[in-house]
Amino acid sequence: MLRGVSGSGKSTLLNLIAGVLKPDQGSLTLTGTELTQLSAGKRDRLRAEAMGIVFQQFNLLPYLSVHDNIVLPLKFAPERRRRVTDAEAEVRRLMDAMELPQSVLSRSVTELSVGQQQRVAVARALLGAPALILADEPTSALDPDSRDRFMALLTAQCQVAGSSLLLVSHDPALAECVDTQYQLHVHDDGTEVRPC
């Protein structure tokens, strides 16, 4: 888990890890690939194949059904598609694992509660077992009971998929859900990441 005060660079660091931003200096290696040496298009492909991202605002497509939002990564990531032998069965498994009723699969994501939308976003991120799940403030809109249940579902499914989880949060209660915590410290000469 990555912690830090507002403006310390947590989301910027996630964008660097995701390859959305390119660092001015240094290196970033993901699954044995040096991201800073890749073109923007190759970083996009690596992101699609190796990462599942749960955005703070979920970034679900309102004109697509729940089902189509979940399977979206398979349209852009051939390796993830190959890791899913039966996409429909895997969608149903993830729906059950995230405690979403199968009856919402054909509905628009705009018809769902915020908590349900969040779980759809996680199912989309997990489909095809990417190496890394990045989650930016995934529990910010949830009450404590919903937060705890959501984190239990998320961490359990990351274990099932064999995916590493890097989450950004202001919530110290999430410390119980993770193995390691890092704190971003802002100084006049830059930002430093330290283990908590």
Residue 118: name the closest of 55, 32, 28 by CA.
55
Dihedral sign for Cα atoms in the order 41, 192, 162, 144:
negative
Q: What is the pLDDT of residues 146-169, one digit of tens each?
A: 888 888 888 998 999 999 999 998
pTM of the model: 0.88
Tabulate helix, strand, coil % of the chain (nearest 5): 45, 15, 35
| Distance from chain centroid for Cα 21 | 17
**3-state SS assignment for residue 182:** strand
Whole-number Å distance between alpha carbons of 138 and 150: 9
Statement: residue 119 has pLDDT above 70: yes
Instruction: Give the residue-averaged pLDDT of 69-88.
Output: 94
Q: Characterize 139-154 residue by residue with b for buried, 16 or more Cβ atoms within 10 angstroms of its Cβ, and e for exposed.
A: bebbeeeebbebbebb
Domains (range + CATH), the chain: 2-195 (3.40.50.300)
Whether residue 70 contacts residue 63, with contact meaning beta carbons closer than 8 Å, is answered with no
Instruction: Please give the average per-residue pLDDT across 49-60, as a whole number.
Output: 90
Tokens of 87: 């996409």
Helix, strand or coil, per DSSP, at residue 186: strand
Q: Is the pLDDT of residue 110 over 70?
A: yes
- Over range 186-195, report the average pLDDT: 72
CB 125 within 8 A of CB 133: yes
Interatomic CA distance for residues 75 and 106, integer angstroms: 18
What average pLDDT does this structure show over 136-142?
Answer: 82
